[in-house]
Amino acid sequence: MNRITDDILFKVDKPSRYTGGEYNMKVKDPESVDIRFVHAFPDVYEVGMSHLGSRILYNTMNMRSDTYCERVYNPYPDMEKLMRENDITLTSIETGTPVKEFDILGFALLYEMSYTNLLNILDLSGIPLDSDSRSNDDPIVMAGGPCAVNPEPLHRFIDFFEIGEGEYMMDDVLSLYAEHKKKGFDRKAFLEDVARIEGIYVPSLYEVSYKEDGTIKEMVRKSEKAPEKVVKRIVPVLDEVAYPTDLIVPFCEPTHDRIMMETFRGCTRGCRFCMAGMIYRPVREKTTDKIMELTDIIMKETGYEEISLTSLSTCDHSNIQMLVENLVKKYADQKVSISLPSIRVDAFSVGLINEIQKIRKTGLTFAPEAGTQRMRDIINKNVTEEDILSATRHAFELGWSTIKLYTMIGLPYETLEDAKGIALLAERISKEYFRVPKENRNKNLKINLSTSIFIPKPFTPFQWVPQDKTENILEKVYEIKHNLKNRSIEFSWHESDLSLLEAIVSRGDRRVADLILAAFKNGAKMDGWTEYFNYPAWVKAMEETGIDPNFYAYRQREYDEILPWDFIDIGVRKDYLIEENEKAKTANVTRDCREGCLDCGVMDVYGREACFNGIILN
């Protein structure tokens, strides 16, 4: 097996994707540690380096003196081609060690359409794709991240999953691994043992059987050591867990090239389409003081010129106004800019952004998600048309003229009228612009109306509903286009072939693993990249494996059906999700749970103090 040399690097685009040596990259003597861990992000370097969770875990693991955590990414196709032609094995960024030689290989699962890249990384490393074909000489292959809440479509390939937040869980896993290594490592013994750690799922310790109609009959444990229910792990108090300050500063520009300052986890809004809003509960905030303190240290240790306050809905931080004011005041002289990546559709949030962008007004992004009030009520996006119009009017008055609107089509219980509503909403927003006196507004109104296709996800109230069929989607797209009159509105929407695959995989069971494997063998990888997306490879794989989109994507599931992810407990009860879906059918809204607990079940699992931890301190 060969390694990447200069003779390869000079032929590829952006070779610094592969060469590391970034400021704050962790340097350790591999001989001095017990555990060599390689963190793999199943996409290219620029995407992987933009993922906060990977950054946190990299630093958390490297805080341990017995562990050296390194990184690896999916090579870009130009590099992969040269690697395969020249029989080159995949190696870590830090020390250039072949991935196969590590003790543990850990994947981050951020989106389903990266799963073929995961197989590609295993393949380029010379590690058997199937868990049961690996020997004691192969690394233990684990995975975690938001998509791990439905681990089944990867059950063949992954030795164990971490469900939930990784910081403390990873520590437990590494300590156990070190113990096992000391007494002579045996895969099987380790996997049985690791299953006892809270939040860990070892697929090989369970067996699933199916009914004649294809739905799950039961899932049984093969070992007493495996828990019946795998309970999602969380970090109870955010202020107390280590947050990385000496972040790697990449040479090769990542997609998001800025400090990511996490402000809180979880979300109280309860949008019914949103998986993140359910699986990241309970809401836990970092205190303003802690955020200010950490930001200061990170600025000094990285030299970055931009801070992004990240969370699922940053304007919902209980002390956001003061936080933003403090940051603006503190960094005004240093030309440091602050960004809020996700803002609420209301005038308050627009005012907040105005604080930050007093001089330079870049585009403003709103996500009304749906066009009619009925539809917004169905998905429980607690935003009224008046909220949207007053927010945009306010933005136009303050000098913005470019606005981006995120919407979805293919939502459950949606009609053509609702699709039309998306166009009408954009039209009304453009009218708000012209209502602002000419001398008070900036020229060149531009509304970028972007529509994506809704995909039902596990652990949401919509986990039972069918994915909308392509012919309906096309009809709805036409309805939107047809009703757009104003030329300042630019409409874009995303293709539906990829959406169908995402729908199959995200609610897939164990049998979907065969589909992913077949698609990979047919040449599918980099599925999330339009230019590399190979739909025919997937179509062929469906034929080969008999995986039927009608069953996985287009089928209405019954409440009493055993869903592939039912054995995982994320805290939110199933009957709460059922209740929410029933309310959706009649366009009944549910309040933000800050205004009063809705008893979703999270407190029963994580304790009465679990929610809003930190808010009281603010």
Partner 1 sequence: MALYLIKYTKDDEIKFVGHLDLLKSIQRTITRAGIDIEYSKGYNPHMQMSIAQPLPVGSKSIGEYMTCGFKSNLKDEELLKALNEVTPKGIRYLSVKKVPDNMKTPMALLNSVESKISIPGNEELFNEISTIFHGNSPMEIKVKSKKGVESVKDLRPLILDYSLEYLNGKIKVTLVTKAGSEDHLSLNHVLEYLDQNTGGLDPDKFIGIERLEMFTQFEGNRISIEEYAKVKYDDEF
Q: How many CB atoms lie within 10 A of CB 21?
A: 10
Nearer Cβ to partner 1, position 302 or 450?
Answer: 302
d(CA 40, CA 48): 9
Q: Which stretch binds partner 1 (CB under 8 A): 176-184, 246-254, 422-430, 534-542?
A: 246-254
Residue whose C-alpha is closest to residue 365's, from 404, 330, 393, 333: 404
> Least distance in Å: CB of 7 to partner 1?
5
Helix axes 497-506, 535-545, angle to 10 degrees: 40
Torsion angle in degrees (nearest 10) through CA of 341, 345, 347, 349: -20
Nearer Cβ to partner 1, position 331 or 396?
Answer: 331
> Least distance in Å: CB of 5 to partner 1?
8
Question: Is 442 one of the binding residues for partner 1 (CB under 8 A)?
Answer: no
Q: How many CB atoms lie within 10 A of CB 161?
A: 26
Size of the site for partner 1 (CB under 8 A): 27
Nearer Cβ to partner 1, position 12 or 121?
Answer: 12
> Least distance in Å: CB of 124 to partner 1?
20
> Least distance in Å: CB of 294 to partner 1?
16
Nearer Cβ to partner 1, position 5 or 223?
Answer: 5
CA 507 to centroid of chain Cα atoms: 15
Question: Is 253 one of the binding residues for partner 1 (CB under 8 A)?
Answer: yes
For partner 1, what does the binding mask look like between residues 285 and 314, x meaning CB under 8 A?
--------------xxxxxxx---------
Question: Is 16 one of the binding residues for partner 1 (CB under 8 A)?
Answer: yes
Residue whose C-alpha is closest to residue 202's, from 181, 223, 216: 223
Question: Is 534 one of the binding residues for partner 1 (CB under 8 A)?
Answer: no
Nearer Cβ to partner 1, position 55 or 457?
Answer: 55
Nearer Cβ to partner 1, position 7 or 213?
Answer: 7
Contact 578, 600 (CB under 8 A): no
Question: Is 328 one of the binding residues for partner 1 (CB under 8 A)?
Answer: no
Q: Which stretch binds partner 1 (CB under 8 A): 20-28, 44-52, 344-352, 539-547?
A: 20-28
Rg (CA), the chain: 24
Question: Is 252 one of the binding residues for partner 1 (CB under 8 A)?
Answer: yes
d(CA 339, CA 227): 42
What letter represents residue 225's amino acid? K
Name the helix (H) or strand (E) containing 207: strand 206-210
Residue whose C-alpha is closest to residue 160's, from 138, 193, 133: 193
Q: Which two tokens stand for residue 221?
A: 């444990």
Nearer Cβ to partner 1, position 301 or 385?
Answer: 301
Strand partners, 40: 72, 107
Question: Is 608 one of the binding residues for partner 1 (CB under 8 A)?
Answer: no
Contact 467, 456 (CB under 8 A): yes
Nearer Cβ to partner 1, position 300 or 431?
Answer: 300
Question: Is 14 one of the binding residues for partner 1 (CB under 8 A)?
Answer: yes
Residues 333-352 binding partner 1 (CB under 8 A) are: 334-335
Instruction: Tell me the H-state helices in 461-548.
Output: 470-482, 497-506, 512-521, 535-545
Binding positions for partner 1, rule: CB under 8 A: 5-7, 9-10, 14-16, 19, 21-23, 249, 251-253, 299-305, 334-335, 359-360
